[in-house]
Structure 1
Amino acid sequence: MNAAGQQDWDEEVDLLIFGAGAAGMTAALVADHEKLKVLLCEKTGMVGGITSTSGGTTWVPGTKLSVEAGVPDSVDDARRFLESVVGARGGDEAREAFLQSGPQAIDELARISDVKFVAAAAHPDYVSGPGAAYGGRALVPAPFDARVLGQAFARVRPPRKEFMGLGGMMVARSDLSALLAPFASLANFRRTLAVLGRYAMDRLRYPRGTQLVMGNALAARLYYSLRKRDIEVCFDTPLVELVRENGRVTGAIVATPGGSRRIGARRGVVLATGGITRHSTLRNQLFPAGARGLSLSPLTHTGDGVDRARHIGANIEDGGDSPGLWMPCSIQRARNGHADDDSVWPHIILDRAKPGLIAVNGRGERFVNESDSYHDFVMGMLRDAQKNGATGPRVPAHLIVDAAFIHEYGLGLLMPGRSAGRIAGFERSGYLVKGNTLAELAAKLQVDAAGLARTVESYNRAAAEGKDPAFERGASPMNRFNGDARQQPNPCIRPIGAGPYYAVTVWPADLACSAGLSGNANGEVLDQAGRVIPGLFACGNDLASIFRGTYPGPGTTLGPAIVFGWRIAKHVARGGAAHETRGAQAVKACA
């Protein structure tokens, strides 16, 4: 909307923010700390967005937390690392701003809010190169006791159902081994009783367990901090239209349960609505055909911010190397046939990196280092499909293991150490495919049997010596970290044994997007000529990735989301994008 005259607003604030994920909530917290009047509008009835359903790891180099963890990291090392990973793909100014501001942003959040991180002493960067870190850069959200939220806990988006046990219990990684083997030791039994007892008490008062970890803990900490500061959050209030006056974005029209409202923004409008992942037009334009069918983002992430910005001339970047950031996922179809009830399992680290697993395509051939990051694994899938002219249903890959692997490590939704009955149940559902011989498995998977036999023979020959000449599996610190240290000389490699054999099929899914709005180092949105659109900002997945389609390490979406939310608030507080609006009325946009 290009308005020629002054606007009559239902409400006026300094900073109007759309989207209550990590980026939007950070911007709101910091802006409030800087004495700005803030209004945060959330399309849904819950905070958290994809932050709530993520692992929550946040990649920020050079923080004090790395020193406290005993693995001091430096911005200079991170700069050298990113130069080697991103190279000449562009975005240098924004990346430098991220590097310089990251430690300050994390430090200030710890001072002014309940957002707390711990640097992982061991959590390697996903790519090897000069300046790569083994630990210190990956920041893990501290667990959070959501009982302090009271009934407002219902406003925190739950994690994926696959990440909860007993219908609503989150489990810390440190507790997983005890819960999987409660009778293995007295310590395991006691810990299991403590975890289950706490969960049972929670369910007397809450819809799910209140001991939160991973991204759910981060989202809840941010929301708790907003509530302590009495920062207004308008739920069920999507962005309808950006209001522009004399070239400047001066506010927005929103839809509320009570009707349409016009909100003025003296300092600017911030878009943090989750990116384009479910915007059907942009998804079809930008995403590879083989990666359009599955997304891990909430159904409501329909690209509202990016879409409204492009209608006033904002530029959309294609994401560089890749428009999406990817995760291989297996799917257990719901018995009722409803796709929304399917169980989708992200294959992060629990199985792919372990020794004795291979991934093959429809020709029965390996195509990638199975122990590489989830993003690089899917990039391998997409490159292989493109090279061989495969799209759509021919894109998926198959993770193949023997029976020993299943019992030792599990596979996808099947956790390790499960009974024969549990395994058979996954077979009956069609999720797990079993073959007494490789030929039988290949037939059931509709994979070339001769190709699979050659692949396993070649793999086993090298694996007997702990080698992988085809893809150098186990060569990087990240590969070895996620493997099994008991397997020597290569923690990621061992031969596949005798049958029976098992497989699950994995598909490309986007966990976030690299494509998004063009922006500068302060998160100001740029038009198609590269000029700033005054009064309009973007962060999180609405802003094009500063890594240009590469995926350097764990948490390289949440790190920039938080840091650019912080930078936008600081820039606005210093006077950036200030202007006067008129006609404001003392009417609240939401209760």
Structure 2
Amino acid sequence: MASGETYDVVVIGSGAAGAMAALRAAEQGLSVLIVEKAHKFGGTSATSGGVMWIPNHGLGGEGDSREQVMEYLASVTSGPVNPEKLAAYVDQAPQMAKYLKAAGVELIVSPWPDYFPDKPGARADRSLICPTYDGRRLGDDRYPLMREQFNRFKLFHRYAMDLTETFALMMQQKGWRRVAANIIRRYWMDRSTRKVSARDRRFTQGAALMGATYEAVFKAGVKLRTGTKLENMVVDAGGQVTGVEVSSFGRTSTIGARHGVVLAAGGFEWNQELRDRFFKVPGLTRHSSSPEDANRGEALIAAEKLGADTEHTGEGWWIPTMTLPMPKASNYHEIHQAAFDVGRPWSVCVNRNGVRFVDEATGYDSFGQAMVADQEKTGANCPCWLVFDAKFRAKFSAGGLMPWAHTPEHKVPADWWDNYIFRADTVEELAAKITVPVDALRQSVNNMNHYAKTGVDPEFGRGGNIYDQFFGDPTVAPNPNLGPIDKPPFYAVPINNGDLGTKGGIRTDARARVIDVNGKPIEGLYAAGNCSGNPFGDCYPGAGGTIGPAMTFGFIAANDIAERSGNQRAK
């Protein structure tokens, strides 16, 4: 085992939390190494929507305040929440965003409603995004090495799309064909990049955030090592963490850390043993929509060996997903998010008893929580069914099944029918195919057809708030989320309770220090992002509720390390 290499700070994981911790520590004059298990950097964050929930950010809009933020969070969080940690997030998140912007990362205020818009203190301007980033600014040697977006975030599995383009195509808004043509033309006109890589130089969504952040990270002199996995923590006789043991291509080595180790290696959603240990309804690793087999909880396992406590481990950042074979590789499967599909008009979601159980247009995490609750109650959920008619099929995606304009019936692979996608001429025939009680499904559909006429869903209030309506169809009246399910053929796809990662993990305090089972900090050890417990408990308050805290507590951890080492500069 080789050893002897030492840095002031070692960061485990190259996603948003790790990148921010490294950037801030380096800016404070500390030498920093990022260790990344994968062969590409950027972590799960680079594959995400790249949204940060930063309340009271002060970067646009008026009227938000600390008091309003705390009022909102008090109304939506439940269960045990560390008030000091929550307050640290609320106070430091705006400071982190201003620092990120000063470092050269452009931030744009998004009009995304908070996920509980009817609660006191809710707003629609707390989510921040990054504009499209030119990936080649990282250098032609580095730009292909950032983790790519999933196929589901690309047009025809190739062309990068920003959020505006994505929603234009998703909703088939006026001029959507022109939008698609412009995306394709822009890619092929970029002849110089095509000589370097087939990857689109346009980094969008999570790749835009991580690309711009890593430009600053590399400029600050941070070192990055990929293909290197955390094995264990190195601890001195007094119990202080002084480094890490890592492995790469079968060789192990130790790397010293003079002032601190920051764990930012993601959650445990791809570790079935940990899912079975912590989750009420474990689900399967392969239903996760994070990068396959990436986040296996190595940081959590290593920290627990030192006696670290855990928190909020019973919940994931839930999102409905569905599964389809990969194009041209039918023996392999691909996970597709269905976060907004389940709340579109001309559709309904039912459990395996044929009964509705949720406002389908609610926030995707709340949808997942409802799946778990219904599974515990009835044993007939996880998966549930998304049922829709020909009007829905013509206009909207159903997970990985694209609308007719993209994937007409004759282009749907034969092995998909009645295995992944079910189709029938009547609701009754569809119920028989998916083995759901006929009378119950017929009643659920009839109810939705009545609600579509009145515009009111008396069961769950679908379409009754601005969040639901934000993802509805404005051409549908009187309720943009309700439309009659009455035009054959009728379809159904199974919906699993997928996730964007895990909400809980290593217990940390307001300074991002890892806390042991006796309630004391483990000296020299910090954690941020999904490998640690989030500040909201079981709640997902708004778009970017994962990345916002990840970057904020990475920022906090770096500040604490710098202050303790005597290297802290003016904020």
TM-score in terms of structure 1 length: 0.89
Displacement of 1:81 after TM fit? 0.4
Q: Secondary structure at the match of 2:319?
A: strand
Q: Does 1:461 align with 2:468?
A: no
Structure 2 contact 299–531 (Cα < 8 Å) conserved: yes
2:194 to 195, 199, 203: 203
1:482 to 442, 449, 471: 471
Amino acid in the other structure paired with 1:282: L
CA offsets, 1:42-72, max 9 Å, x none? 112111111111111110111122x2xx455
Amino acid in the other structure paired with 1:92: P
Structure 2 contact 242–524 (Cα < 8 Å) conserved: yes
Amino acid in the other structure paired with 1:152: R
User: 1:130 and 1:104, CA in 2 relative to 1: closer, same or farther beyond 3 A?
Assistant: same
What residue in structure 2 maps to residue 406 of structure 1? 393
Cα distance in structure 1, aligned partners of 2:176 and 2:268:
48
Displacement of 1:433 after TM fit? 1.5
Cα distance in structure 2, aligned partners of 1:35 and 1:336:
50
Cα distance in structure 1, aligned partners of 2:482 and 2:130:
32
In terms of mean alpha carbon deviation, does 371-380 or 125-134 score higher?
125-134
Runs (5+) with no aligned partner, structure 2: none
Cα distance in structure 1, aligned partners of 2:356 and 2:47:
31
Cα distance in structure 1, aligned partners of 2:118 and 2:371:
23
Q: Secondary structure at the match of 1:469?
A: coil
Q: Secondary structure at the match of 2:105?
A: coil
> How is 1:240-389 mapped onto 2 (pairs within 5 angstroms)?
240-245=231-236, 246-257=238-249, 259-289=251-281, 291-293=283-285, 294-298=287-291, 299-319=293-313, 322-334=314-326, 341-349=332-340, 351-389=341-379
Cα distance in structure 2, aligned partners of 1:577 and 1:525:
20
Structure 1 contact 267–535 (Cα < 8 Å) conserved: yes
What residue in structure 2 maps to residue 60 of structure 1? 54
Moved over 6 A (4+): 177-183, 335-339
Amino acid in the other structure paired with 1:375: D
Structure 1 contact 15–268 (Cα < 8 Å) conserved: yes
Q: Does 1:174 align with 2:168?
A: no
Structure 1 contact 396–505 (Cα < 8 Å) conserved: yes
User: 1:378 and 1:25, CA in 2 relative to 1: closer, same or farther beyond 3 A?
Assistant: same
User: 1:423 and 1:173, CA in 2 relative to 1: closer, same or farther beyond 3 A?
Assistant: farther
* Identical residues among aligned pairs (%): 31
In terms of mean alpha carbon deviation, does 458-467 or 253-262 score higher?
253-262
Structure 1 contact 147–210 (Cα < 8 Å) conserved: yes
CA offsets, 1:89-109, max 9 Å, x none? 221110100000011101011
Q: Secondary structure at the match of 1:45?
A: coil
Amino acid in the other structure paired with 2:394: H
What residue in structure 2 maps to residue 40 of structure 1? 34
What residue in structure 2 maps to residue 494 of structure 1? 483
User: 1:288 and 1:195, CA in 2 relative to 1: closer, same or farther beyond 3 A?
Assistant: farther
Displacement of 1:361 after TM fit? 1.1
Cα distance in structure 1, aligned partners of 2:333 and 2:198:
21
CA offsets, 1:166-213, max 9 Å, x none? 443211233347768799599658735643434666333213111111
What residue in structure 2 maps to residue 542 of structure 1? 531
User: 1:178 and 1:118, CA in 2 relative to 1: closer, same or farther beyond 3 A?
Assistant: closer
Structure 2 contact 79–537 (Cα < 8 Å) conserved: no
In terms of mean alpha carbon deviation, does 554-563 or 480-489 score higher?
480-489
2:402 to 407, 410, 415: 415
CA offsets, 1:472-530, max 9 Å, x none? 11122211111122222221112212321112211111211112011100110011111
RMSD: 2.6
CA offsets, 1:106-143, max 9 Å, x none? 1011112x3222111x2001113444444221111221
Cα distance in structure 2, aligned partners of 1:492 and 1:183:
19
Q: Does 1:99 align with 2:93?
A: no
Q: Secondary structure at the match of 1:333?
A: strand
User: 1:336 and 1:421, CA in 2 relative to 1: closer, same or farther beyond 3 A?
Assistant: closer
Amino acid in the other structure paired with 1:25: A
Cα distance in structure 2, aligned partners of 1:445 and 1:178:
32
Cα distance in structure 2, aligned partners of 1:577 and 1:223:
25
Amino acid in the other structure paired with 2:361: S
CA offsets, 1:346-367, max 9 Å, x none? 0122x22222211011111111
Cα distance in structure 1, aligned partners of 2:278 and 2:486:
42
Structure 1 contact 426–432 (Cα < 8 Å) conserved: no
> How is 1:68-147 mapped onto 2 (pairs within 5 angstroms)?
70=61, 72-87=63-78, 89-112=80-103, 114-120=104-110, 122-147=111-136
Structure 2 contact 391–487 (Cα < 8 Å) conserved: no
Q: Secondary structure at the match of 1:413?
A: coil
User: 1:513 and 1:258, CA in 2 relative to 1: closer, same or farther beyond 3 A?
Assistant: closer
User: 1:199 and 1:437, CA in 2 relative to 1: closer, same or farther beyond 3 A?
Assistant: farther
Cα distance in structure 1, aligned partners of 2:391 and 2:325:
26
User: 1:87 and 1:258, CA in 2 relative to 1: closer, same or farther beyond 3 A?
Assistant: closer
Cα distance in structure 2, aligned partners of 1:438 and 1:201:
53
Aligned residues: 560
Amino acid in the other structure paired with 1:107: K
CA offsets, 1:531-559, max 9 Å, x none? 11111100001111111111111110100
User: 1:203 and 1:462, CA in 2 relative to 1: closer, same or farther beyond 3 A?
Assistant: same
Cα distance in structure 1, aligned partners of 2:554 and 2:109:
20
2:226 to 221, 231, 235: 235
Structure 1 contact 79–131 (Cα < 8 Å) conserved: no
Structure 1 contact 291–510 (Cα < 8 Å) conserved: no
What residue in structure 2 maps to residue 12 of structure 1? 6
Cα distance in structure 1, aligned partners of 2:210 and 2:565:
28
Q: Secondary structure at the match of 2:301?
A: helix
1:163 to 153, 157, 166: 153
User: 1:198 and 1:284, CA in 2 relative to 1: closer, same or farther beyond 3 A?
Assistant: farther
Q: Secondary structure at the match of 2:412?
A: helix
Q: Secondary structure at the match of 2:88?
A: helix
Structure 1 contact 243–249 (Cα < 8 Å) conserved: yes
Displacement of 1:447 after TM fit? 1.2
Q: Secondary structure at the match of 1:64?
A: coil
User: 1:195 and 1:177, CA in 2 relative to 1: closer, same or farther beyond 3 A?
Assistant: farther
In terms of mean alpha carbon deviation, does 307-316 or 196-205 score higher?
196-205
Cα distance in structure 1, aligned partners of 2:174 and 2:460:
40
User: 1:211 and 1:335, CA in 2 relative to 1: closer, same or farther beyond 3 A?
Assistant: closer
CA offsets, 1:265-291, max 9 Å, x none? 121111011122223322210123452
User: 1:381 and 1:239, CA in 2 relative to 1: closer, same or farther beyond 3 A?
Assistant: same
Q: Secondary structure at the match of 2:49?
A: coil
Displacement of 1:333 after TM fit? 2.6
TM-score in terms of structure 2 length: 0.92
Runs (5+) with no aligned partner, structure 1: 1-7, 579-591
In terms of mean alpha carbon deviation, does 45-54 or 131-140 score higher?
131-140
Q: Secondary structure at the match of 2:47?
A: coil
2:519 to 511, 525, 530: 530
CA offsets, 1:291-339, max 9 Å, x none? 23422223121111110000010012243xx421111111113488876
